[in-house]
A and B are shown apart, each in its own frame.
Chain A
Amino acid sequence: MAIEVTDDLVCHIARLSRIAISQDDLKELVSHFERILAFVGELQSLDTRDVEPSMFSVESTNVDREDIVCASLGRTESLANAPESNGTFFVVPRIVGGGSEAGPGAPVQMEEDGAEGAA
């Protein structure tokens, strides 16, 4: 599969990755993607039509456990590492009704988009 690594493609990937990038980053990333694609290109020459993909490292099947309530982290411990909390919840910027949801502002423009994600 021949792929042209364009600025648009890398910006799209950065946006899906939720990583803001600068113009300098973009240049470097285009070159990195080109090199990585060339590096992994060797795999394309291998005939794998009849091969079942191996995605997991264990062959175990699902095991049910008894439905018993076990100890879990309490609220204080769960919130202890949060950069911002109000003692009950994690605090994030307003995302509904505040007029500034999911806006641009990152060095490379990030479109408003919550629906599109990795396949």
Chain B
Amino acid sequence: MTTREASIIEIRDSLLAGRTKAVEVIHEALRQIRAVDPQLRATSQIFQEEALARAEELDMKLKKGEEPGLLAGVPFTVKDNICTRTGTTTAASKIIPTFRAPYDATVVLKLLAAGAIPIAKTNMDEFGMGSSTENSATVGPTRNPWRTTHVPGGSSGGAAALAAATRGMLHLGSDTGGSIRQPASYCGVTGIKPSYGRVSRYGLLAFASSLDQIGVLQSSARECAAALSVIAGRDPMDSTSASRAVPHYLGELERDVRGLRLGIPTEYFPDAIDAEVRARVQEGIDVFRRLGVETREVSLPHTRYANPTYVLISAAEASSNLARYDGVHYGHRARNPQGLVELYARSRAEGFGAEVKRRIMVGTFVLSAGYHEAFYNKACKVRKLIRQDFESAFKEVDAIVCPTSPVTAFPIGAKIDDPLKLYAVDILTVPANLATVPGISFPCGLTSEKLPVGLQIYGRPFEDHTVLRLAHAFQMTTKFHLAAPPVYAGS
């Protein structure tokens, strides 16, 4: 079996030591993407010329002995709902098929300042609404590098597929109800949704503002820690970003996990969990026990209400956020409308995909006069109960362990015609967004059909370093995260 070692951390060292040049790093990254993209359709754009120009600039800086930054020369990809001045930002939607952002998202600026180089934008479900990346109106479905007849998960499916099929790149994703962790699970990579407020959302095309969070998908927790140490922190442009100090994530990884208390919530192992997923996750929990981590059962009694609560709150916020796509300020405009209201209604009808329209309408409904109290307000109250579940559990344990998804990657087309069936694959990831806690997914083995299984760890708000530390300890003693899929260009 081919293996892949973590490498974004080594790129900077190689550059500083003169063992390689930034231009060579970018050429290699481009080679890898070109080798797998025809099969996977993971990218929406590749920035060859811009990336090579930036690399040449960086090489000049290095020659002059200037400080190159923490992630100097590291190629990075950007999910297509995160604004970049280079290229277009479409959120995989036909409503803004040619939108050129007039500014870079804060995460992109921070990576640029650290010397990293944007190389591509990655495919996704339209506006992040989906769990399979089949719902992309611009690129079409992305494929899973472990089996190209299967979905990579979603909505950050392009990032997850590339993270699995290549090495030595950083991949930005976003997670509203599991959109980083679930595709990380299906593609056998490590993905972290940081605590709400840990990473600035400025420049992220909003889906549900109280749930959205930017994070990364990598081959290891160590790479995630390196990336998070650059992108985390207060941003005056996002009033919901936290002003708490950013921990030294790489340093925190080295602390022993012995004695940490890991909670196993009974509600996260329902009968609906696939038997092989259950088995791999149980084996993963045994790995932690061998590492000296204490395990005990905990209860999160409102778990069964999380998915309906998520469906209502995310739709309500989406209906408000997506009101800006009106055929006036940017994007698609219907031809020859009779008046302004028809301009709005037809532009939106033509531009948005079916799932996006469904969610906008459900959200409009639950916010409308007569239904607001029974649906939106009710969901916000249940959200409070779900948060309280976590608060109680985190008095007894330091972290919570569970499967990332009840199933593994499924065949393309299997669930796309039934929105509710597709929502069900998110039941174990949406609680983190509702409760604002950090969550990480990392591979804990393969099924008999050679599809990856993801193990998920939740931590207390702003204890991202604890979930990273546990994942890193697991990866120091196992090799699951090093397994490369059949479609792989990294060797």
Q: Which residues of A contact B (CB under 8 A)?
A: 1, 3, 10, 13-21, 29, 32-33, 35-36, 39-40, 42-44, 46, 48, 51-58, 60, 63, 65, 73, 77-78, 80-84, 90, 92-93, 95, 100-106, 110, 112-114, 118-119
Which of B309, B312, B384 meets A52, CB within 8 Å? B384
10 interchain residue pairs of minimum CB distance: A53-B380, A81-B330, A83-B333, A54-B384, A48-B381, A20-B349, A20-B345, A119-B369, A40-B308, A105-B338
| Residues from chain A with Cβ under 8 Å of B302 in the complex | 46
| Residues from chain B with Cβ under 8 Å of A21 in the complex | 349
A42–B312 alpha-carbon span in the complex (Å): 12
| Interface footprint category on B | 35 or more
Determine whether the beta carbon of A90 is less than 8 Å from that of B339: no
With A29-B358, A103-B338: A39-B420 Cβ-Cβ less than 8 Å: yes
Show 18 A/B contacts (Cβ-Cβ < 8 Å), sorted by A: A1-B371, A17-B319, A17-B361, A19-B360, A19-B361, A33-B361, A39-B420, A43-B305, A44-B378, A46-B382, A48-B382, A51-B382, A81-B99, A81-B329, A83-B331, A83-B333, A105-B338, A110-B345
Least CB distance from B137 to A in Å reads: 15
Which of B304, B309, B340 meets A102, CB within 8 Å? B340
Q: Which residues of B contact A (CB under 8 A)?
A: 96, 98-100, 102-103, 196-197, 210-211, 236, 239-240, 242, 302, 304-305, 308-309, 311-312, 319-320, 323, 326-333, 337-346, 348-349, 352, 357-358, 360-362, 364-365, 367-372, 374-375, 377-385, 387, 419-420, 423, 436
The A/B interface has a contact count, at CB < 8 Å, of: 187
Q: Is the interface of A mostly helix, strand, loop or mixed?
A: loop
Determine whether the beta carbon of A48 is less than 8 Å from that of B378: yes
| Residues from chain A with Cβ under 8 Å of B383 in the complex | 53-54
With A39-B308, A43-B379, A46-B382: A17-B360 Cβ-Cβ less than 8 Å: yes
A110–B365 alpha-carbon span in the complex (Å): 16
Determine whether the beta carbon of B377 is less than 8 Å from that of A53: yes
Determine whether the beta carbon of A83 is less than 8 Å from that of B332: yes
Determine whether the beta carbon of A101 is less than 8 Å from that of B340: yes
A78–B103 alpha-carbon span in the complex (Å): 11
Determine whether the beta carbon of B374 is less than 8 Å from that of A83: no
With A46-B305, A57-B196, A84-B333: A51-B211 Cβ-Cβ less than 8 Å: no
Determine whether the beta carbon of B330 is less than 8 Å from that of A106: no
